[in-house]
Amino acid sequence: MKEALRYGFILAMICVVASGLLGGMNSLTRPKIIAQVQGEEQAALREVMPEGQHFEPIKKGKDIIYYKVNNKDGKFIGVAFEASGKGYSSVIDTLVGMTQDGSIAAIKILNQNETPGLGARIAESSFTGRFTNKNIQGLTDIQAITGATISSKAVINLVQEKAKEIQALIKNEK
């Protein structure tokens, strides 16, 4: 019994020291980590809406549904939003920039795990570039990558579906 208490005490002491250390470390790195995350988010948003200057997240409860994008004069030019869906062998996450009139500014593949060399080529700019300046109604005309029809069609469909949904939401936005 006494032995067990001693063991517990020693282990507890080690844990206390470790927690203290980690607490200190956390307060040191936390602001930096938050800044990094925000910086990356901003950079990704810039990429899909190159003319945007100010990105305002529109939330529903805790989740961000889309970002309202204003240009440098403060004028509303469009939205950016995340769209994801099932591809050939993985879930594909994309970030989409859409202008007010419902045409795509650019898309970016955030996350995918498709077949290397075939489906994974959806992340290349030669494919994502095909979306630029396309109206969301005409997305189905986009040519699929040879040999990777399923992954390509999946991206087209998931972007189109989400885009239509968001467009309905922002109809009255000025």
Partner 1 sequence: MKSKLIVNVSPHLHKDESVSKIMWMVVISLIPAGVAGVLIFGLDALWVILLGIVSALITEWIIQLLTKRRVTILDGSAFLTGLLLAYNLPAKVPFWLPVVGSFFAIAIGKQVFGGLGQNIFNPALVGRVFLVASWPKYMTTFTPPQNFDAITSATPLAIIKEGRILEKISYLNLFFGNRGGCIGEVCIFALVLGALFLFIRGYISWHIPITYTVVVGLFTYIFGQKGLFTPPLRAGAGFGGDWLLHILSGGLILGAFFMATDYVTSPLTRCGQIIFGIGCGLITAIIRLWGGYPEGVSYAILMMNAATPIIDRYTKNRIYGTKI
Partner 2 sequence: MKNLFKEFLKGIIRENPTFVLVLGLCPTLAVSTSVINGIGMGIAATFVLLGSNVIVALIKNIIPARIRIPCFIVVIATFVTITEMTMKAYSPALNRALGIYVPLIVVNCIVLGRAEAYAQKQTVLNSLFDGLGMGVGFTLALILISGIREALGSGKILGYTLVQKFEPAFVLGMPSGALLVIGLLLGFFNILKGRRE
Chain residues in the site for partner 2 (CB under 8 A): 6-7, 10-11, 14-15, 18, 21-22, 25-26, 29, 32-33, 36-37, 40, 116-117
Name which of 88 and 131 has its Cβ closer to partner 1. 88
Shortest Å, Cβ 107 to partner 2: 20
150 binds partner 1 (CB under 8 A): yes
Shortest Å, Cβ 127 to partner 2: 17
Of partner 1, partner 2, none, which one sits near residue 147, judging by CB under 5 to 8 A according to partner kind? partner 1
Using the Cα atoms of residue 113, residue 119, residue 124 and residue 128 in order, give the sign of their dihedral: negative
Query: Angle CA(141)–CA(138)–CA(90) in degrees, nearest 5?
Result: 65
Residue list 69-88, contact with partner 1 (CB under 8 A): 88
* 49 neighbors 69 (Cβ within 8 angstroms): yes
Q: Name the region of 82 (left: φ>0; alpha: ψ -120 to 50; beta: rest).
A: beta
89 binds partner 1 (CB under 8 A): yes
CA distance 37 to 22: 21
Name which of 77 and 148 has its Cβ closer to partner 2. 148
* 44 neighbors 108 (Cβ within 8 angstroms): yes
Q: Pairing mode, if any, of strands 63-70 and 54-60?
A: antiparallel
Shortest Å, Cβ 146 to partner 1: 8
Shortest Å, Cβ 109 to partner 1: 19
3-state DSSP assignment of residue 103: strand
- Which residues sit at the interface with partner 1, rule CB under 8 A? 88-89, 115, 117-118, 146-147, 149-150
